[in-house]
Amino acid sequence: QVQLVESGGGLVQPGGSLRLSCAASRSTFSLNFMGWYRQAPGKERELVAIITSSGHTNYADSMKGRFTIPRDNAKNTVYLQMNSLKPEDTAIYYCNVEFGVVQYWGQGTQVTVSS
């Protein structure tokens, strides 16, 4: 099993920045990938960004150039650095990892972009 602990959500003004953290109970190298999804009210959960065990990254089109997904292997932690935030980025953000053939989800952290 993999336990995930998320942190870093909150309220931020449009144009601001926020960094989310997701600490895993297993080495990042043992995980096929680590990633972030988000779910806004009334909408389906959508992919934000992922990073594979080899370091390859992939971003949703609307996040490219604004979000990055750095990883600290020594801390078994993946981050989501969000810049130039917009009100439409308001959502609950979930960490997601795959270990073997099983996917695990974090508890979710609320991000609200509002003036």
Which tokens go with 41?
A: 């009210």
Average pLDDT in the chain: 95
Which tokens go with 55?
A: 């370091």
Query: What's the pLDDT at 21?
Result: 97
* Length of the chain (residues): 115
DSSP 20-68: EEEEESS-GGGSSEEEEEEE-TTS--EEEEEEETT--EEE-GGGTTTEE
For 22-74, write each residue's pLDDT tens digit: 999 988 888 899 999 999 999 999 999 999 989 999 999 989 999 999 999 99
Instruction: Tell me the C-alpha distance between 73 and 28, whole Å.
Output: 6
Least Cα distance to 28 among 93, 83, 79, 89 occurs for: 79
To the nearest whole percent, how much of the chain has pLDDT over 90?
Answer: 88
Which tokens go with 106?
A: 């974090």
